[in-house]
Amino acid sequence: MAESQVIAAVDGSEHSMRGLEWALRAARLRDAEVLAVHVWPWPPSIHGAPEPPPTAPPAPEDPVLDGVRRQLEGRADLPETRFTTLSGTPAAALPELGSAGDLLVLGSRGRGGFASLLLGSNGRACAAHAHCPVVVVPHRERGRGAVAEPVGRVVLALEPAETVDAVIDFAVREAHLRGAQLQVVTTYPVPFSTLALLGAAQVDVADPEGPQIAKETARAQRDRLEHLVRARAPEVDVDWVVAPGDAAGRLVDASDAADLVVVGRHRHRLRHAGMFLGSVTNAVLLHARCPVAVVPAPER
């Protein structure tokens, strides 16, 4: 059995199958196994959870997993793949699986999701609460998804003072595994009048007449990241991007020519049932046109 595991949430929908395809590729890169999980949902009840809750059928008897097996049947490129069922609600059951896997992958919407939704509730719950990195694969209408030809670029959202090593390590490893360039995107705030003059062009931070804040941001970016890349994967080519203005907008634009965008999830300051994804992470999950990895900070 492989030492590492990529968990893929499946429900029989096209969206979940796109997530599974991404998980299969990720497992091959890692020499890992895939665990395909179907959460057998509790039926709705006006009195809350039914008593006793229904039990999921064994994996060999689950019609959803049977359909997934049929779609994978005969493929020669599959990593070791196992199947299991769970009972409960996906938004509660899936994040708990993160403690048993290296990566949790799911489509941006599941079966029964409204077509107008950009991100389903299960994807949001996993990104906010899972103990391992979560990859959300966009649906066909929005993005390149799981089956597009690789472009050879991983994008890392870096806030020098905020981004923890776990997020950087994940992005560097992904670039290394894929033989891809690592594009590091860091933005800084500027006054509205200055931003209007700059327009959308990237600032040349080497220009001695350039804004001082751009130079300071570029220096902080390299100080935070350069030694980590050298220590972990010195062969990875790094594209340093420092730009004024909206971080989420820059990252969504970068997703047009990327295989993966990596963002961090800040530690939860509150522990009640809200979703505490940062505004940039949330916006990227909603609008990115390639898969997005949300990497949690280590628990203190």
Of residues 156 and 286, more confidence is placed in 156
Tell me the domain boundaries of the chain: 5-137, 153-296
Q: What is the DSSP string of 271-293?
A: -SSS----HHHHHHHHH-SS-EE
pLDDT in tens, 228-247: 999 999 999 999 999 998 89
Structure tokens at 267: 């530690």
Tell me the pTM. Answer: 0.85
**195 vs 212, which has greater pLDDT?**
212
Position 87 scores a pLDDT of 85
Residue 187's H or E segment, with its range, is: strand 181-188
> What was the pLDDT predicted at 207?
46
Q: Is the CATH code 3.40.50.12370 the one for domain 153-296?
A: yes
In eight-state DSSP terms, residue 83 is E
Kindly report, residue by residue over 248-272, the tens digit of the pLDDT: 999 999 999 999 999 998 754 434 3
- CATH class (in words) of the domain with range 5-137: alpha beta
Smallest CA-to-CA distance from 181 within 100, 241, 247 is with 241
Query: Does 166 score more than 50 pLDDT?
Result: yes
Residue-by-residue DSSP string for 227-265: HHHHHH-TTS-EEEEEEES-HHHHHHHHGGG-SEEEEEE
Q: What are phi and psi of 206, to 5 degrees?
A: -85, -15
Q: How far apart are CA 41 and CA 31, in angstroms?
A: 31
Q: In what order do the strands lie in the sheet with 238-244?
A: 81-88, 33-41, 5-9, 103-107, 134-137, 292-296, 260-265, 153-157, 181-188, 238-244
β strands within 26-108, DSSP E: 33-41, 81-88, 103-107
Tokens found for residue 105: 């992958």
Q: Indicate the pairing of strand 134-137 with strand 292-296.
A: antiparallel
Question: Average pLDDT over the chain, rounded to whole?
Answer: 82
Decide if 5-137 and 153-296 have a common fold: yes
Cα separations in angstroms, 190 against 162, 212, 213, 244: 19, 11, 8, 6
Amino acid at 119: L
Q: Cβ neighbours of residue 89 under 8 Å, at least 6 residues apart?
A: 39, 41, 42
Cβ(94)–Cβ(37) under 8 Å? yes
